[in-house]
Chain A
Amino acid sequence: MHDLIANLWLGMSVAFTFTNVSLCLIGALVGTLIGVLPGIGSLATIAMLLPITFGLPPVGALIMLAGIYYGAQYGGSTTSILVNIPGESSSVVTCLDGHEMAKQGRAGPALAIAAIGSFFAGCVATVLVAALGAPLTAMALLFGPAEYFSLMVLGLIFAVVLAKGSVLKALTMILTGLLLSMIGSDLETGAERMTWGVPELSDGIGFVVVGMGMFGFGEILRNLESPGSREIINTKVTGLMPTLPDLKASAGAIGRGTVIGSLLGILPGGGAIIASFAAYTLEKKVSKNPLRFGRGAIEGVAAPEAANNAAAQTSFIPLLTLGIPPNPVMALMVGAMTIHGIVPGPQVMTKQPELFWGMIASMWLGNLMLIVINLPLVGMWVRLLRVPYRHLFPMIVIFCCIGVYSLNNAPFDVSLTAIFGVVGYWLVKHDFEPAPMILGFVLGPLMEENLRRAMLIARGDATVFLTRPISGTLLAIAFVMLALAVLPSLRAKREEVFTE
């Protein structure tokens, strides 16, 4: 306990320097700005803004990226409430009641309660990350290659189970990602693999290239298909502060949402989306008057917003302690860390404590920033939403192009991104989810490395994954999850959750 406070103190002292506070502020502001633009999720936002952190020292860069992440997330809920367009998949649920509230002229309280809920959840999750960081890092020392491999299998299976749509198709997406990640030089022998003699491919395909192509350009292509009517709330957003009954009604919802979100966020495989769905469903179940939901119930905004923010934050736990990115956004964080010469994993905490704890403290700071900057700026976000899409997407495209180009100063990367944009569009057309593929792509090299090592240590005995206790347990959980997802009765329930 004393350690925890000392560590958090160290973190605060790093995060509260003038430069870092302003970096956090800029990050949160720019993140919200981009996140508010409809049709760009947090992944594309971070990828787009990655180049602006290049010139910074590592701690500052990570603090800014974390700020961008929360900003983008919060921006997503703003569009959900005001325009009924979820900025990203985790704020889909917020649309249901949030937009309804806005229609009734209560957009202000809806936005405020979303910010307050997120802030509360952020505070709890920050403490949780700090508290769980050390023990989990100690656990990481027990992990050998076999355990790491099994853990990643479990993470991928979670991603399949928690994604909507066909389990089989999600599995094929993961394998596609794994296969694509094999392109490039082999880590151990240096042999060129599936590069067709293209020298630019010998380094492998960059994660940003795939992510930006599939989520940035792919989204634009899809949005162009259905320009759709954007009904923006025309009435002025007045009366930001929620009333006392509002606060009373949402207090419990925020608490429950935070707990669900924190728990589901630690699970690898994109916990934030399922967390917001689960929190909403739970609120509906415990409510005395479930009929109010979907008609502007404030609990319906508070709970999912708290849940997805808590999950967004606790998803840093697997990344910081085990070095395994649990979702595509965290994978992008790995990319960003690598650019700054940091290898994510248990050693970060022992070797660079100021970085680890500074980042954790900045998470809390980022949430505080959001509540401070967003409430006064709501009017500006509304005006931004009125910019027609035909002016927005050229801007997004050019920013994405410059972002990808500036990573390696390689025009080839930009062309490759275009190809992945088409691939992403094609996948959505055929009802494949791109998210599991990205996760597979990120984990591919790590999985191969650990698989190879485990097999080498066990002298070619593949049963090592089952006989080692931790590894065996992880695989057993993965198997049970998969079996449950395929079972017809549970599948029906899963679809029910997603259609709500």
Chain B
Amino acid sequence: MSDATPSGEWSRSADARRQYNLVGGIILAVAALGLFVWSFWVNNPVPLPVRSSIIIFFAVGIAISAGLLRVQNPQDVYGGMALILLSLTALVASNDLPGMRGFAFGPGTAPRLFAFLLAILSLGVVVVGFLKRGPDITGYKIQGVVFIIGSILAFAACIRPLGLVIASFATVVICAAAAEDGKWRETLIVAIVITIFCSFLFPYGLNLPFQLWPRFW
């Protein structure tokens, strides 16, 4: 599944890595800060261990960005930190749910149990990432992410008010912009073909309740 080089060699220069950690650490710290502030907004007081974990998380983030902690395996460190953040968020979010009543589970018991276990295991991943050298995270393809995600969101936004024809045409055109070797004329032809195909297949061929055109009339 992974494209990472198994050799564990770092592919970035020392400067680039420092910058990556600077930004990455700040993102982690800011997210922790946001979670901390939010933990005062929820109804029940969040227990002290959770709050102090958030503070420690914040400190680790700062330490990473300042270069005090040497990130040996960025994949493990950032991956594990993100999962810890997820479990802390879950602990805060499930805080107001009632827990055990006698020996019966409450609605909050299982989520907190899973979140707690996730935090412990993710901590293991992070610690390993600080100790054992591993490959750098290869660069993200921003163009792909922006246009693909944009096209999906466009579909979600258009399908109700504008109908299937416009939604699918818009989605295909936006989506095609994600490719580097795209040509406009080709894209338009493909989009028209796909749109016609979809507007016949789903409402007529499969009898699914799709509205084809905008609801003006």
Contacts and interface: CB of A to CB of B under 8 A. Distances in A.
Contacts of A444: 114
Nearest to B116: A175
A193 B79 CA distance: 25
Given A168-B121, A405-B155, A455-B103, A224 B179 contact: yes
B204 to A, nearest CB: 12
A169 B82 CA distance: 13
Interface stretch (A345-353, A378-386, A410-418): A410-418
Nearest to B127: A168
Contacts of B83: 172, 176
A433 B1 contact: yes
A461 B86 CA distance: 30
Interface residues of A, number: 75
A498 to B, nearest CB: 10
Nearest to A53: B206
A225 B198 contact: no
Nearest to A412: B156
Given A55-B206, A176-B83, A430-B137, A421 B148 contact: yes
B71 interface: no
B115 interface: yes
A169 B79 contact: yes
B155 A401 contact: yes
Nearest to A444: B114
A338 B53 CA distance: 40
B149 interface: yes
A451 B171 contact: no
Interface string A378-418: 00000000001111011101110110011001011011011
A421 B207 CA distance: 28
Interface in A407-462: 409, 411-412, 414-415, 417-418, 421-422, 425-434, 444, 448, 451-452, 455-456, 459-461
Interface stretch (B28-36, B43-51, B104-112): B104-112
Interface string B131-172: 000000110110111001101110111011000100010011
A220 interface: yes
A335 B87 CA distance: 27
A480 interface: no
A461 B125 CA distance: 32
A18 interface: no
A138 interface: no
A319 to B, nearest CB: 24
B118 interface: yes
B111 to A, nearest CB: 4
Given A193-B107, A217-B148, A390-B182, A411 B90 contact: no
B80 A172 contact: yes
B152 A401 contact: yes
B103 A460 contact: yes
Given A402-B168, A414-B159, A460-B103, A194 B94 contact: yes
B159 A430 contact: no
A169 B118 contact: no
Contacts of A166: 125
B67 interface: no
B136 to A, nearest CB: 10
A405 B57 CA distance: 38
B59 to A, nearest CB: 22
Contacts of B207: 55
A51 B141 contact: no
Give the interface SS of chain A, mostly helix, strand, loop or mixed. helix
A430 B79 contact: yes
Contact of B2 (A165, A224, A414, A415): A165
Interface stretch (A111-119, A181-189, A231-239, A298-306): A181-189
B125 A169 contact: yes
A432 B79 CA distance: 8
A171 B121 contact: yes
Nearest to A395: B194
B115 A224 contact: no
A430 B209 CA distance: 40
A54 interface: yes
A191 B111 contact: no
Contacts of B80: 172
A430 B145 contact: no
Interface string A134-159: 00000000000000000000000000
A466 interface: no
A194 B206 contact: no
Contact of B175 (A168, A169, A393, A430): A393
Interface in A39-79: 51-52, 54-55
Given A411-B160, A430-B75, A398 B171 contact: yes
Interface string A298-326: 00000000000000000000000000000
B90 A194 contact: yes
B103 A456 contact: yes
A194 B2 contact: no
Contacts of A394: 151, 171-172, 175-176, 190-191, 194
A222 interface: yes
Nearest to A189: B107
Contacts of A226: 3
A24 interface: no
Contacts of B76: 169, 430-431
Contact of B121 (A172, A193, A421, A432): A172
B108 to A, nearest CB: 7
28 contacts: A51-B208, A89-B1, A164-B1, A165-B2, A172-B83, A175-B118, A178-B114, A179-B86, A189-B106, A191-B98, A194-B90, A222-B3, A224-B148, A224-B178, A388-B181, A393-B148, A393-B178, A393-B179, A397-B148, A398-B171, A401-B152, A401-B168, A402-B168, A405-B159, A415-B152, A421-B149, A428-B1, A455-B103
Given A402-B168, A411-B157, A455-B105, 14 more contacts: A165-B1, A179-B86, A179-B118, A182-B114, A391-B186, A397-B152, A401-B155, A402-B210, A411-B159, A415-B156, A427-B79, A428-B2, A434-B1, A452-B109
